[in-house]
Structure 1
Amino acid sequence: MKNRKRNSKLSLVRSLLVLLVITTVAALLYIDSNDVTNEANSGTRNAVVDLLQKQVFEPVLPDTAVTLPKDFRFHPEYQHEWWQYFANVVDDEGAEYGIQWSYFRIASDERKTAGWQSPQIYISHVVISSKNKVWKEQRIARGGVGQAGMIVEPFKVWVDNWCWQATGKTPFPGELDISTNEFALNLQSQAAGPFALLGENGYQPKHDLLPIAAFNISAPFISVKGEITLGDNKTTRVKGNAWMSKEWGSQLISQRQKGWDWFVVRLNESEVLTVSQYRHEDQMPYVFGSIISNSGKTISLDETQISLNSSKGSVLKGGKRVPLEWDVIIPQYDINLALTPVNKNLLLPFIIPYWEGPIEVRGSHNGKGFMQLTGY
C-alpha cells in the first residue's frame, strides 16, 4: 500500500512537471502553424513569449567572449542551454545508423533556489534510426533534487540514468551511456579536431534586425565507437563520426518567428559545413553558415553567399507536410549539394518537437550529415 501511494505521488509530480514544461517550452519551440490561427493557443503562446522576453536574465551581447574550457560550465545567469550530439555510425556488417542525443535546460524564472523550488527544468531525448526503423525516448526532470544537472569538473551532464561524463573540464574524451526499456547505447567519443566558435567568436546573431542571438561552441570533428542494443536485445558494435554543439542564451525566439532549418554536412575528412535558416512572418529568412576546417580555420557565411531551397515537401504520417529535400549552393566555394533524408519517419513527437535525422549528401561533395526542421 505504501509503495502504491509513493508511486502515485511520483506519478502526480511527473504529470505536473510535464504540464509546466509544456506551458513553457511548447511556446518556445512551437511547431504547428495552425496554432497561430487559434485564439486561445495564440494567447497562451504570446503570454509565454512575453515571459521569455523579459530582461531578467543576462543578455547575449557581442562583446562577451566565449572562453574555453570555462564555458563548458553551467550558465544559470542565462535562461537556456542546449547540448546536441549527432553521430553517423556503421556496424561490423556495414549497416548504418543515425544517433541523436539532445540535452536541454530551461529556467522558468531567474530565482536561485534549491530543491523542488529550483526553476531549472531539464529535457533530454535520444533517437537511434536505421533506414527503416526508429527507436526513441524522452526524459524530463526538475533540477535541484539530484535527478538532473551539470557538473564542470569532471565534466558531467545527466538526467536519471542517462549520462554524458568525462574525466576533465571538457566533454572529450567522453562517454554517453543511455539505457531504456526498449534500447540502449554506450558510446565513447574523442575530439578529432579543434573546437569551433561560430559567428563572432562564439556570438551568433539569429535575426538581422532584432537583438536575438546565442553563444555557441561546436565540436565538428569527433570520432566515435561503442555499442548499441536495439529491440532484439542484440548488442552491436558501431563506429563513425559525430558532431556536438553547445548553445546558451536568454531569448531564443521573437514574437513572429515561425521556425528554423539547420543542416550539418561533413564535406570531407577535413571540412564540415553548417547552414541555418531562421524563418519569420512577413520577413525574409535570416540565413547564415560556416565552413569549419580541422586545421582550426572557420569561414563565416552570410545570406549573400548561400542559396538554400527546398522541394514542396513530403507528406508524413498524420498529414503534416515537411520539406525533407533541400539544395544548398555556395558558388564561392564550389559547393552544390542535394540533401535527402535517410529515413523520412523522424518527425519526433517530443515536448520540444521537430523533424531531425541523418541525411544523404550528393553533388559536388558526397557524404553524410544531419538535418533539423521546426515550424512546419
Structure 2
Amino acid sequence: MSANWLLSRRAFAGGLATLLLARAARAQGFAGLGSEASGFTEVLPGKTLSFPADHGAHPDFRIEWWYLTANLTDERGEPLGLQWTLFRQAMAPGGEGSGWGSRQMWMAHAAVTRATSHHSAERFARGGIGQATVTATPFSAHLDNWQLRGNEATSAASLAPLEVSAAGADFSYALKLRTERPVVLQGDRGYSKKSERGQASYYYSQPYFEAEGSVTLGGRVSAVRGHAWMDREWSSQPLASDQTGWDWFSLHLSSGDKLMLFRLRHSDGRHYFAGNWIGIDGHSTALPTDGIELTPTAETMIGERRVPTSWRIAIPGRGVALTSTPLNANSWMTTRFPYWEGPITVSGSHAGNGYLEMTGYNANGG
C-alpha cells in the first residue's frame, strides 16, 4: 500500500465526512439527530439486549457510539480526565454494504483535560475498507491506531478487561481497564426514552471500570489511575425534531452508587429529563422524569458561546442534592460539531466525581 494511496483515501474520507456533516448541520436537532429516520431500524420497547452481540456494530440503525470517560489522578495527586469515543453513522438505510459501497461513516474523538488545559483531537474514516471497525468477539473497536480492545479473556458480561489508547498532536494516553462487575442497562431494561413522542435509544453502560496507565502531555509522561465509565447507545432517531441538544451526567458517588442523568432541551423550554440510579448492588432503576432537577448555576463564556458549566442536581425522592463543579470550565471540544465535555466533581448530600457533556450550545447562547 503506497503512502500516496493512503493519503488519498484519508483525504476522500475527510472530504466526504465534511459534506455529510455539513448536510447534517442543516437538519433537525443537534447534528441532525432529530431528522426523520425512514428506512432505518426502529428502536422499540421490550427488546432484550444480548451480549456479546450487542457490544458490536448495528449497521441497520442510523447512529451508534462507544463512549469512554475516565476520572484519574496522577502520581502527584493532581486530577485529570480523558475521553475516547467512536461514532458510526449510516449515510443511508440498507445495512452495512461492502468495500467502497459501504454506507457507513466513522468518526472518533479523544481528549485529555487538566485543571489548566484541555486537549482534543478528531479523526474520520470511510466504512468498508478496514480503517475503522468494531467486532463483538473478542471485542475490538478502532479507527486507525486509536483503539479500544479486549482479548480472549474479555468477558461478554463485563466487557473487561480492555485496553484503550489514542494520540493527538499534543497528547497521548494508554490505559488498562478492569472490572468483574457486569454491564448495567439504562432506561427501562436498556430501552432509553428521549422524548414523549417515541424517540429512544438502546443504552447500556459499564460504570465500574478501574483504570491504570499513562498520559503524555507536553512530552511529560504521567502514571495515572482512577475509574472509568463506558456508554453504549444505538438508535435511528435519538432526538425529537425540536430538541436542540442535551446535558448529560455520569457520576461516581463516594457511597459506591452510580448515577446517570440527562436533560434534552426543547426549543420551547419544556425539557425532557431521564436518568438511572445504579445501586451498590448493581441494580439499575429508572428515575421518574418529574423527579429530576438539573439547574445551571454558573456560566462560562467560550468564544461567543455562553455555556452552563456549574449545576445544581436534585433528586428529592432519593435525598440527592448536589452541586457540580468543573475541573476546567473551558473543556470545549473543537470538533466538527463542537460541544463541551469534561470531568466534574460533586458535593452536597454525596461526594464524588464524574463527567458532564453538553451539546447544542450555539454562539447565540444555544
Report the TM-score, using the length of structure 1 for normalisation. Answer: 0.88
How has the CA–CA distance of structure 1 residues 281 and 181 changed in structure 2, closer, same or farther, with 3 Å as cutoff?
closer
Structure 2 counterpart of 1:295? 281
1:375 alignment partner, one of 336, 360, 363: 360
The CA deviation string for residues 162-185 of structure 1, in whole angstroms up to 9 with x for no partner, is 111101364310000223342211
- What displacement does 1:69 show? 2.8
The CA deviation string for residues 231-260 of structure 1, in whole angstroms up to 9 with x for no partner, is 22x222110011111000111222211111
- What displacement does 1:311 show? 2.5
The CA deviation string for residues 52-81 of structure 1, in whole angstroms up to 9 with x for no partner, is 413211100002221233311211111111
Given that residues 134 and 141 in structure 2 are in contact (C-alpha distance below 8 angstroms), is that contact kept between their aligned partners in structure 1?
yes
- 1:324 alignment partner, SS class: strand
Task: Could you tell me which runs of 5 or more consecutive residues in structure 1 were left unpaired when the two chains were aligned.
Answer: 32-44
How has the CA–CA distance of structure 1 residues 143 and 6 changed in structure 2, closer, same or farther, with 3 Å as cutoff?
closer
1:342 alignment partner, one of 327, 341, 346: 327
2:33 & 2:177 partners in 1: Cα distance? Answer: 36
- What displacement does 1:28 show? 6.3
Report the TM-score, using the length of structure 2 for normalisation. Answer: 0.91
- 2:290 alignment partner, SS class: coil
1:164 & 1:151 partners in 2: Cα distance? Answer: 11
Given that residues 83 and 110 in structure 2 are in contact (C-alpha distance below 8 angstroms), is that contact kept between their aligned partners in structure 1?
yes
- 1:19 alignment partner, SS class: helix
- What displacement does 1:288 show? 1.1
- What displacement does 1:353 show? 2.0
Task: Could you tell me which runs of 5 or more consecutive residues in structure 2 were left unpaired when the two chains were aligned.
Answer: 362-366
Whichever residue aligns with residue 105 of structure 2, its letter is I
Structure 1 counterpart of 2:51? 68
2:267 matches 1:281: yes
- 1:345 alignment partner, SS class: coil
Name the % identity. 32
1:275 & 1:29 partners in 2: Cα distance? Answer: 23
- 1:20 alignment partner, SS class: helix
Structure 2 counterpart of 1:18? 17
How has the CA–CA distance of structure 1 residues 282 and 193 changed in structure 2, closer, same or farther, with 3 Å as cutoff?
same
1:271 & 1:7 partners in 2: Cα distance? Answer: 47
2:127 matches 1:139: no
Whichever residue aligns with residue 351 of structure 1, its letter is R
How has the CA–CA distance of structure 1 residues 157 and 169 changed in structure 2, closer, same or farther, with 3 Å as cutoff?
farther
- What displacement does 1:188 show? 0.4
Structure 1 counterpart of 2:364? none
- 2:181 alignment partner, SS class: coil
Paired residues in the alignment total 356
Structure 2 counterpart of 1:41? none
Whichever residue aligns with residue 119 of structure 1, its letter is R
1:104 & 1:29 partners in 2: Cα distance? Answer: 19
- 1:325 alignment partner, SS class: strand
2:183 & 2:72 partners in 1: Cα distance? Answer: 21
1:110 alignment partner, one of 90, 93, 98: 93
How has the CA–CA distance of structure 1 residues 354 and 57 changed in structure 2, closer, same or farther, with 3 Å as cutoff?
same
Larger deviation, residues 236-245 vs 269-278: 269-278
Structure 2 counterpart of 1:313? 299
2:157 matches 1:172: no
How has the CA–CA distance of structure 1 residues 275 and 182 changed in structure 2, closer, same or farther, with 3 Å as cutoff?
same
Whichever residue aligns with residue 224 of structure 1, its letter is A
1:79 & 1:324 partners in 2: Cα distance? Answer: 30
How has the CA–CA distance of structure 1 residues 189 and 103 changed in structure 2, closer, same or farther, with 3 Å as cutoff?
same
- 2:185 alignment partner, SS class: coil
Name the Cα RMSD after superposition: 2.2
| Greater helix share, structure number | 1
2:345 matches 1:360: yes
Whichever residue aligns with residue 364 of structure 1, its letter is S
How has the CA–CA distance of structure 1 residues 5 and 152 changed in structure 2, closer, same or farther, with 3 Å as cutoff?
closer
Given that residues 153 and 169 in structure 1 are in contact (C-alpha distance below 8 angstroms), is that contact kept between their aligned partners in structure 2?
no
1:81 alignment partner, one of 58, 64, 70: 64
- Superposed, 1:172-321 pairs within 5 Å as 172-208=160-196, 210-232=197-219, 234-282=220-268, 284-311=270-297, 313-316=299-302, 318-321=303-306
